[in-house]
Amino acid sequence: METEIIQRFLESVGSKADVDLYLKLFRAQKKESFAIIAAGDPIIKHALDPVHFDLRILAGLGLTPVLLLGLYEGREADRQAVRVKEWLVEDAVPAQIVSCGPDVSVATLDTVRAAISGGAIPLVSLEAAKDVTPEGRFRLLATMACALETRKIVYLSRRAGLEAQDGKPLSDVNLATDYDALLANGTLSRRQASLLRHVKQLLDNVPHRMSVAVVNPLHLLRELFTVSGAGTLIRRGSRIDRYPNLDQLDHPRLTALIESAFGKRLSPTFFLEPVDRVYVEEGYRGAALLRATPVGVYLTKFAVERAAQGEGIGTELWSAMTRDFPSFFWRARPDNAIGPWYVKHCDGMVRVGEWHVFWRGLGVSEIEPAIRHALSAPVDFLPSTPVAS
């Protein structure tokens, strides 16, 4: 497929900035670490067309996922692999069938790696492991993901993602905070609850950074190439650390994080301004900085490094912040993409010139002084010094 057609299709899936960002990220990784896509029997039977289209686009972009067949039910996996291969080969997309037994052998991994480095999509069949329990097959997947240092596992589903019983898909599941509640209150169907348990087991067994997406093949490319994603993104969840000021923080790391998030250079006076509460994601991938002012608590920075945006870290910081602070206010540029999300999470907002000012939990008499404060706060970035994302 021609590169230009592929690029145009991807831009219809998400914004050009998002697509370019993810392409850059995926291409910067080791080729074999891109993704493992697990497609079950019903997907191959009823949704092979979109899967095939997704794989063609990815191959056209030089991205080579591993397609895993037989993760839940191994009996038909060899035949499914042959079927997928026939479809791909017809469109001149190179693919190679790889059989995986009850252990992921060195030979299997070598074959997968060789296929990928030769530009062929490995179609890994677990039929030879069909007598292993589903738990065992998820362990095989974990072993493979560890060896390839896979960054994303995609579980293709006929549904939109993990769905609550009202049929609404859950966009983000943080295992650290949501797992017990999701299993305890019968939110998920029996099948999806079992998938969630297996995903937890998988993420617990993989030491490197990896996420799992449950997505319909029709939305796979949107999941991979947009910040907002599609389907359900399941993450191990991060620890959010709290600090009373900036003193104990690693200033260069915090600077790098904020500059990457905003794409601008911080003013050298930034660390001289007082800050009264800081929330930092354990790996310095996100931070929120709050300042106590005479008119209330001001959220002065809310940032997640560019490469990690859309993974839910912002939401985790937000929950930590809102648990501790019932009221605060903040501002954003009108063209900031996060605006609609702020609207959902504020009690009120006002548009004034080049700023939107938002607040939560303020009394009526506190709103006007807070707006004035937000509008007069200094800009913490140097003018026209963009930072490459």
Ligand X SMILES: CC(C)(COP(=O)(O)OP(=O)(O)OC[C@H]1O[C@@H](n2cnc3c(N)ncnc32)[C@H](O)[C@@H]1OP(=O)(O)O)[C@@H](O)C(=O)NCCC(=O)NCCS
| CA gap 198, 92 in Å, rounded | 35
Closest contact distance (angstroms) between CB of 304 and ligand X is 4
Where does this chain touch ligand X (CB under 6 A) — which range of 20-28, 32-40, 70-78, 301-309?
301-309
Considering only residues 161, 169, 217, 310, which one is a binding residue for ligand X as defined by CB under 6 A?
310
Considering only residues 338, 350, 352, 387, which one is a binding residue for ligand X as defined by CB under 6 A?
338
Beta bridge partners of 182: none
Using CB under 6 A, count the residues that bind ligand X.
Answer: 21
Considering only residues 313, 321, 367, 370, which one is a binding residue for ligand X as defined by CB under 6 A?
313
Who contacts 54 (Cβ-Cβ below 8 Å, separation ≥6)? 217, 220, 221
> Beta-strand (E) ranges in the chain?
36-39, 66-69, 95-99, 121-125, 152-156, 172-174, 211-215, 232-235, 240-243, 264-266, 277-281, 286-293, 296-304, 328-332, 348-352, 355-360, 381-386
Shorter beta-carbon distance to ligand X: residue 91 or 354: 354
- Residue 122 binds ligand X (CB under 6 A): no
Q: How crowded is residue 41: how many other Cβ atoms within 10 Å of its Cβ?
A: 17
SS3 content of the chain, % helix, strand, coil (to 5): 45, 25, 35
> In the block, which residue shows the tokens 């240092």?
149
- Residue 232 binds ligand X (CB under 6 A): no
Amino acid letter, 377: A
Shorter beta-carbon distance to ligand X: residue 134 or 361: 361
Cβ 299 vs Cβ 329: under 8 Å = yes
Considering only residues 303, 349, 362, 371, which one is a binding residue for ligand X as defined by CB under 6 A?
303
Shorter beta-carbon distance to ligand X: residue 84 or 258: 258
Closest contact distance (angstroms) between CB of 290 and ligand X is 13
Helix axis angle, 48-60 to 3-13, nearest 10°: 120
Where does this chain touch ligand X (CB under 6 A) — which range of 97-105, 336-344, 367-375, 381-389?
336-344
Q: Which of 17, 18, 2, 94 is nearest to 55 (CA)?
A: 94
Closest contact distance (angstroms) between CB of 35 and ligand X is 19
- Residue 230 binds ligand X (CB under 6 A): no
Shorter beta-carbon distance to ligand X: residue 193 or 337: 337
- Residue 349 binds ligand X (CB under 6 A): no
Cβ 210 vs Cβ 145: under 8 Å = yes
Q: Residues 257-296: x/- map of binding to ligand X (CB under 6 A)? A: ----xx-----------------------x----------
Task: Summarize as ranges the residues that interact with ligand X (CB under 6 A).
Answer: 171, 227-228, 261-262, 286, 302-304, 309-315, 332, 336-338, 341
